[in-house]
């Protein structure tokens, strides 16, 4: 999740689910905590021995400057007030602390190809899907002054296969029965995005933002 090992430093995973990322970061030496509003996911994480709070981030009593790092992967597109969420992250980060945000990119190559059938839209669960410039404006509004924002082709193969399934069936679901040919085309789409990123920095499937307080 774009963070190096940092033994003993505190990391919060916002929207942690059942804790897969938390476990990986814990293995790198981070002191991890998580928060999620899904009670079943929180229970699963707790059963794995992870420290997770139930509810939204804004409901938690974290003190100012409490964490060295925050991760937020595919979360910000689900919230009604993304600026309020980023502002709360800014408050609970220590000076020099970083938040890593990953979210679908509305300017991606797959969205240009599939339009309303693009898997990244995912209505009604995704309340907004951003361009890199929109996330930059939110970061600045939340008080972050140092940032690096780029797009990645990391999930392009999955997005191609899933979007093809939506186009064929109208159903927003993972296509477990995708043919080898479709999966191969997904890999080709990933390579195409990789090549296009050499000349256009905004066409990757996901936006990745590293924001420093």
Question: Helix/strand/coil (H, E, C) string of 133-199?
Answer: HHHHHHHHHCCCCEEEEEEECCCHHHHHHHHHHHHHHCCCCCCCCCCHHHHHHHHHHHHHHHHHCCC
Position 25 scores a pLDDT of 97
Position 57 scores a pLDDT of 98
Position 171 scores a pLDDT of 78
Residue 115's CB is within 10 A of a number of other CB atoms, namely: 11
pLDDT digits 0-9 by tens, 114-160: 999 999 999 899 999 999 999 999 999 999 999 999 999 989 998 88
Name the pTM for this structure.
0.92
Position 83 scores a pLDDT of 98
Tell me the C-alpha distance between 105 and 206, whole Å: 5
Position 173 scores a pLDDT of 65
Position 205 scores a pLDDT of 96
Tell me the C-alpha distance between 41 and 34, whole Å: 11
Position 175 scores a pLDDT of 54
Residues of the chain with pLDDT under 70: 173-178
Helix, strand, or coil (residue 85): helix
| Upper half-sphere CA count for residue 59 (Cβ side, 13 Å) | 8
* Structural domains of the chain, with CATH: 62-212 (3.40.50.150)
Position 21 scores a pLDDT of 97
Which helix (H) or strand (E) segment holds residue 70: the answer is: strand 67-73
Structural tokens at position 64: 């100012």
């Amino acid at each position: 999740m774009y963070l190096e090992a940092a033994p003993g430093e505190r990391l919060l995973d916002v929207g942690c689910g059942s804790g897969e990322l938390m476990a990986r970061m814990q293995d790198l030496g981070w002191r991890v905590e998580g928060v999620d509003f899904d009670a079943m996911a929180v229970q699963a994480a707790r059963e794995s021995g992870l420290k997770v709070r139930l509810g939204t981030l804004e409901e938690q009593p974290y003190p100012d400057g409490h964490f060295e790092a925050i991760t937020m992967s595919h979360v910000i597109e689900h919230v009604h007030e993304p600026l309020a969420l980023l502002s709360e992250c800014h408050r609970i980060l220590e000076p020099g602390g970083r938040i890593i945000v990953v979210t679908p990119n509305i300017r991606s190559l797959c969205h240009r190809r599939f339009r309303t059938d693009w898997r990244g839209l995912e209505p009604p669960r995704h309340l907004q899907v951003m361009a890199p410039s929109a996330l930059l404006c939110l970061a600045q509004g939340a008080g972050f002054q140092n940032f690096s924002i780029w797009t990645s082709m990391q999930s392009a193969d999955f997005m191609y296969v899933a979007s093809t399934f939506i186009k064929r069936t109208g159903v927003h679901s993972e296509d477990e029965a995708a043919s080898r040919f479709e999966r191969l085309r997904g890999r080709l789409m990933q390579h195409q995005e990789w090549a296009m990123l050499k000349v256009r920095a905004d066409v990757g499937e996901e936006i990745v933002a590293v924001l420093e307080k």
